Amino acid sequence: MYYFLTNAPVSKKIRETEWEELSILCRGAATSVTGKIKCYRLAGTNATYTYTITASGHRVYLNVLTPTGETFSLLDYMEAWMEIENTQATQKRIFVCDHNDRKFTARIGWLNTLGGIDYYTFYGQTSSEAQIERTTFKRELPTGFTTVDRGTGILTSSYEEETEIVSDFETPETIAWLVRCLASPETWIMEDHLTLIPIVFTSKSHVISQAGLVQLKLKYKKANSIRVQNG
């Protein structure tokens, strides 16, 4: 039995425009590897989709998303696993379809301790604060200077935004997995459901508990600041 390179809970929520990356390491050149996604519909019969997978450096990937031809709003949940030579080779992981309309979302990805990629969508309120840094210099003004002459000038300035994101209320087990993203050397935020933007977390975890459930609050900055002036 192979194990997916993830520390995530076996059951996770997934939204219509999201995808998850599952991967395994094989002890040799993997042959006849297939990925399976079984869709459990809210009504009617279920359907299983099979995908041929090509090994890359003894690593095999399966992207989990709504199969072509399926309507996300009609799905209850999906199961995903891999087979080698028509025999189940991994555990089955469950992705529960989230049909709620969420106004504020932030999807974070990070390199986990097993060498795989984990994702989580923060559903709570988000807020941003702009920070501007400047490098200035002083110069002597000429005799008879005018009001347009500057005694202090700007060499460079940069613009950064620090964003606060809040998770949904989760079980302590899910939060214990999620908080590990703070220690990851590689973290991203997903924009436009496709583009990964490097980020750096700027705060320690802030946990809020209520009736046995836990909410996580984090702050981050994009890894690359915007240089708005270079004098």
Total structural domains in the chain?
A: 2
* pLDDT by 10s per residue, the chain, length 231: 889 999 999 999 999 989 999 999 876 655 678 999 999 999 999 999 999 887 776 788 999 999 999 999 999 999 999 998 889 999 999 999 999 877 768 899 999 999 999 999 998 666 677 777 777 777 776 777 666 666 677 777 777 788 889 898 888 899 999 999 999 999 999 987 778 999 999 887 777 777 778 889 899 998 886 656 655
CATH of the domain at 73: 2.60.40.10
Do residues 92 and 149 share a domain?
A: no
Residue 57, Cβ neighbours under 10 Å: how many?
Answer: 7
pTM: 0.80
34, 18: one domain = yes
**43 and 82 inside one domain:** yes
Are residue 84 and residue 121 in the same domain, yes or no?
no
**27-30: long-range contacts at Cβ-Cβ below 8 A with a sequence spacing of 24 or more?**
27/58, 28/58, 29/55, 29/58, 30/55, 30/58, 30/60, 30/84
- 92 plus 110 within the same structural domain: no
Which of 58, 81, 100 is the last residue in one of the domains?
100
- My answer on whether 10 and 24 are in the same domain is yes
Q: What single string gives the DSSP state of each residue in 18-65?
A: --EEEEEE-SS---SEEEEEEEEESSS--EEEEEE---BTTEEEEEE-
What is the Cα gyration radius of the chain? Answer: 24
Per DSSP, what are the bridge partners of residue 217? 166, 206
